Chain A
Amino acid sequence: MTDATATHAGAHGAHAAHHPDLQHHFDTLDQQHEAATLGMWLFLITEVLFFGGLFLAYMLYRVWYPQAWAEASRELDIVLGAFNTAVLIGSSLTMALAVRAAQTGSQRAIVVWLLMTMALGLTFLVVKYFEYAEKFEHHHVPGPDFMFPGPNAGPAQIYFSLYFLMTGLHATHMVIGFGIMAVICWMAYKRRFSPEWYTPVEITGLYWHFVDIVWIFLFPLLYLVDRAHHFA
C-alpha cells in the first residue's frame, strides 16, 4: 500500500548492506513483501463488505419486486454491458502480464502492459459515460425527474438508485486504480523495480483484479435479470 511504494528507506550506517527498498522496521524483504500483500488482501476484504451492503439491499429488493427488477433491467443495454465485461476481463489479463513482467525484471514491459490496462479501463469508462447519458435522457436517474411507465415506478426507482450507486462506486474504484497505476508506471519508467522487489506492482494487480471481479458480479445482477425468455 502506501508504504510499499516508499521511494527510499533507512539504508544508513550498519544497515548499508540492505536492499535500498527495505524499510527500517522490517528485517527482510520477504517479511516486507508478505506484510504488504497481507495488508492488500485484508483491504480487499473490507472492500467486499463495503460493496456487500449494496448487494444486500439489491438482494432484498429483487426478492420483493421481481417484476420491477425485470422491467428496469431491460432498460439497460446488454450489448454495451457485455462489451464492457470483455474489456475489463481483457484489462485483467494485461494487468497480470504487467505483474509477470515485474517478476522477470522487464521494466519496459511493465510500463507497456500498465498503459494498456489503463487504456482498456478508460474504454470501459467511456462506454459507461454513454450509458449514463442515456439514463439521463430517458429520465431514469432517481430523484424528482424520475419517470418510469407502469405500476412499478417506485421499485424501479430503487433499482436505478442501486444501479447508479453500485456502478458509480465501481467506476470510482477504477479512477482510483488509474491514479495508482500512473504512479507505478512512473516508478517502472524510472527502473525502480527488480525481481527481488516488485511488491507495489503486485498489490496494484490485486486491487485491479478485485475491481474487475466486482464488475463480474454487477454485470449479471444488473443487466441479465429475466432475460432468458428473450433468447428462448
Chain B
Amino acid sequence: MASTPLTYLNHQHSVASWLLTKDHKRIGLMYLAVVTLAFFLGGLFATVIRLELATPAGDLLSNDDYNKMFTMHGVAMVFFVLIPAVPAILGNFVLPLMLGAKDVAFPKLNLLSWYIFVIGFLFTVYAMVTGGVDTGWTFYTPYSSRASNSNVMMTGLGVFITGFSSILTGLNFMVTIHRMRAPGLTWFRLPLFVWAVYATSLVQILGTPVIAITVLALAIERFFRFGIFDAALGGDPVLFQHMFWFYSHPAVYIMILPPMGAISEVIACFSRKTIFGYSFVAFSSLAIAIFGFLVWAHHMFVSGISVYSALVFSFLTYAVAIPSAVKTFNWTATMYKGAIWLKAPMIWAIAFLALFLIGGLTGLITAALGVDVHIHDTYFVVAHFHFIMVGGAVMGFFAGLHFWWPKITGRMYSEIWAKVAAIIVLAGFNLTFGPQFILGYLGMPRRYHVYPDEFQVLNVLSSAGASILAVGYLLVGIYLTVSLFKGERAGANPWHATGLEWTTQSPPLPHNFEVQPIVTHDAYEYASREITVD
C-alpha cells in the first residue's frame, strides 16, 4: 500500500538489515526471538521433570538424566530467559523511546551484546545436546570441579560469555539514562520503568563480573587441575558458594526489578492515576539493588557458615523486604480509588501483584534462620523462587509485553484471548507451585526424582497444573502471532497513556521521533492532563 507509513520494521527488509542493525528496536525483537527459543527449551526440560514426578518411582529417567534435566531447566531459564527477558527485550525497545532519544548511547555495542548473548547460548545448547550437564544450575564445587563428568566446561563457558552480554547491556543503558534524556526530562520526571532499568543496570555492572570470574576460576580449576576451591589442597568449596551467590542473589533483582518497572507503568495507566509515592517507588528500586548485594549468604545457612554472619544475613534479608513492600503498597494505593480499566495488561499486572506477594512473604519464611534449616533444599524453596521468578518476573514481563505490544508491532492482539490466557496461566501456576509449598514443608527434598508414595497426590496436582500452565503460555504465543497478521491497527496511543513512547507512531519511525521531544510534565499526569491519542 502506498499509504503505509515508514516504520522501523518496513524501512529495510533484507536479512542483513536485521543481523547488522544498530536500531535498539530491532535488537529488542532479536532478543525476543532468542529468549522465546530458550523459554521453549527450558519449558521442555520442565515438562520432562513434571512427567517424571507424576509417579513416586523413578520410571522415566535415570538418576543422572534427572539431574541433567533440572540443571538444564535452570540454566536455560535463569541465564537465557529471566535475566535478559525484560531488560534486553522490553528495555531495549522502550528505554530510548521513553527518554526521547534516537537510540541507546552505544548502538554498535548493543548489537555486539546480542551476538555475545547468542554465542553464549549456542555454547550452552551445544553442551546440552552433546551430553548435558548435571551439576545443578549453581555449579557447586567440588562436584562441578572434580566429580561430575558431564559438560560442565562448555556450559560454564556459555554462562561466562553470556555474562558479558548482560554487563554491556547494563553499561549501555546506564550511560543512555545519564546522557541521552530529552530536554526537560529531569530525573524525577522519568518513568519508573527507567528507574527500574537503572537499578538493574547497577546490579548487572557490579554483580555479573563476579560470576564471570567465579565460573572462569571453576573452568580453569576443572581443566588445568588448578586449585582455588579444592579442599584437598586446603581450599574452600564454600568460597565458591560465596562468590557464586554474590552475583546470583542480586541476579534475582536483575530478573524482578525491570518487571516491577513495567508493572508501575501498567498500574498507573490502567488506574488512570498518578503513581502513589513516585519517589518512594523510584528509590525503592535503588534500595533493592543495593540491599540485594548484602544478602547472598542466606543461600548458605546450612553450608557451615558462622552463626553470627548467618544472623546478620538473615536480618539483612528481612531488610530487603522493606523496599519490595513499599512498591507493593504503592501499587495498591495507586489502584485505590483509581478508575480501574481492566484491559489485558492490567489483568497480567494484578496477577503479578498476587503472586509476587506470596513469593515475597514466603521469602521471609525462608529467610528466618531456624525455619530455613527445616525447609532448605526442599520443595518449599522451589515453590518460593518460582513464585518470584515465574509468578513475579514472567508475569511482569507479560504485563509489559501486552502493554507495549501495540507500540512494538502496531497491532492489537485479541483482548478476550489475552484475558483468558492470563487467567489460565494464573490458575495453572498456582496449581503447579501451590502444592510444592506443602510438599516442601512436609519434607520432600528438591532434586530427587523418587519420592515416598504419600507425596504422590500433591505431585500429581503439581504436574496437572504444569500442563495447564503450558496451555496458557502456548495460547499467548498463538494470539500474539495471529495479531501480527490479523490484529487491528493500534494507533499511536491505544491505552491513552502518558510517556514519550506513546507520542510517536506505532510501530515507531526508524529514528523514533519526527522532532526532538521536549518534556514539560511529570511522568504520570493521568488525572490532570489531556492525553493525545493519535
Contacts and interface: CB of A to CB of B under 8 A. Distances in A.
Contacts of A43: 171
Interface stretch (A48-56, A123-131, A209-217, A219-227): A48-56
Contacts of B108: 2-3, 6
Contact of B233 (A45, A46, A154, A164): A154
Interface in A30-78: 31, 34-35, 38-39, 42-43, 45-47, 49-54, 56-57, 60-61, 64-65
A46 B210 CA distance: 9
A52 B208 CA distance: 12
Contacts of A162: 228
B178 interface: yes
State the main secondary structure of chain A at its contact with B.
helix
A185 interface: no
B232 A161 contact: no
A57 B172 CA distance: 30
B224 interface: yes
The residue among B102, B172, B210, B226 with the most chain A CB atoms within 10 A of its own CB is: B226
A158 B174 contact: no
B5 to A, nearest CB: 19
A46 B205 contact: yes
Interface stretch (B63-71, B123-131, B214-222): B214-222
Given A35-B175, A38-B178, A158-B234, A50 B212 contact: yes
A52 B103 contact: no
Interface in A1-25: 1-3, 6, 23-25
B228 A46 contact: no
Interface residues of A, number: 40
Interface in A95-149: 142-144
B224 A60 contact: no
A28 to B, nearest CB: 11
B9 interface: no
B180 interface: yes
Contacts, number: 124
A130 B217 CA distance: 24
A82 interface: no
Contact of B179 (A6, A38, A51, A158): A38
Contacts of A161: 220-221, 226-228
Nearest to B111: A2
B521 interface: no
Nearest to B232: A154
B210 A53 contact: yes
A199 interface: no
Contact of A25 (B102, B212, B228): B102
Interface residues of B, number: 45
B406 to A, nearest CB: 25
A209 B432 CA distance: 53
A52 B212 CA distance: 11
Given A57-B217, A158-B233, A164-B226, A46 B209 contact: yes
Nearest to A58: B228
Contacts of B224: 142-143
Interface in A157-201: 157-158, 161-162, 164-165
B213 interface: yes
B236 interface: yes
Contacts of A81: none
Nearest to B178: A38
B175 A38 contact: yes
A100 B167 CA distance: 31
B106 A64 contact: no
A54 B213 contact: yes
B244 to A, nearest CB: 10
Given A35-B180, A39-B171, A47-B209, 13 more contacts: A24-B102, A25-B102, A25-B103, A38-B178, A42-B174, A46-B171, A50-B209, A53-B210, A56-B243, A60-B239, A64-B234, A142-B224, A161-B221
Interface of B: 101-109, 112, 167, 171-172, 174-175, 178-180, 205-210, 212-214, 217, 220-221, 224-228, 230, 232-236, 239, 242-243, 511
12 contacts: A2-B106, A25-B102, A38-B178, A42-B174, A46-B171, A46-B205, A50-B212, A52-B209, A56-B239, A56-B242, A143-B226, A154-B233
The 5 closest A-B pairs by CB, nearest first: A53-B213, A154-B233, A50-B209, A25-B102, A49-B209
